[in-house]
Amino acid sequence: MLDFASWKILVAGNCIFRRGVASIVRDVVPSASIVEAVGFTDARARLNRDGFFAAIFHLDADELDGPPSFRTLRVDCPDLIIGVMSRSASAADILGYMAVGVTGFILEMSGQAEVERAVRDIFDGAVYIPPDVIPPMTCEPGIARPALGRESHRLTPRQTGVLGLLVKGYSNKEIARELDLSPHTVKIHVSALLRCFAVEKRSSLALAVCSPGGGTSGPCEPLALQISA
């Protein structure tokens, strides 16, 4: 059982969402202090006043402006674990949220056991992405296949910067210093890249990027990958 007795967890959304998610969080970490917020604005005010360990938001709230809302939240709360839940999302939508600092993306259609696993993962410092939307792929030994075709593989400018340093052997801390990011944010970008290229290890990611058709050529010098704004 996770020991978060001294940590506060914020749950923000409509009443039904708050009560349902709060119940699951209590099942996972009974000793944690759970605070409910009626929406994103209320949540931001509470986060600014008090020290929270994590926050889980309902993405379908009217006042949210998509990833930009969480980009500003990440700037103000660099160490906060951020989870979001939505009725539906595409792989591009999910990666867009991960790129701005969201730690875990949970689908409402997921069963209780899967939601509990997602909550455990993000509270334990891991990054959670719905496996049914961006599934991990098992590659043959020595062969790495990007999860998305090269023509459709889109990286944000920040992901491209992280990827370029990663394939050169930089550690997360070194990447953070080079790009003026927090190590936590770098970890999120690396996890998203692992999913994008359907590999489980950093070394396999470098191989996927440097292999023919994987995204770079020569001594791991990045090609002009398609960049999303």
What the chain holds in terms of domains, given with CATH numbers, is 8-123 (3.40.50.2300), 154-227 (1.10.10.10)
Check: CB of residue 127 under 8 Å from CB of residue 188: yes
- Which pLDDT tens digits describe the chain residue by residue (229 residues)? 444 556 789 999 999 999 999 999 988 888 888 999 998 989 999 998 888 889 999 988 767 788 888 888 888 888 888 999 998 878 878 878 887 888 889 998 888 899 999 998 888 777 788 877 765 543 333 333 333 333 334 566 777 788 888 878 888 889 989 988 878 778 877 877 776 676 777 777 766 665 544 444 333 343 333 333 3
d(CA 44, CA 32): 20
pTM above 0.75, yes or no: no
Q: Sign (positive/negative) of CA torsion 24, 29, 30, 34?
A: negative
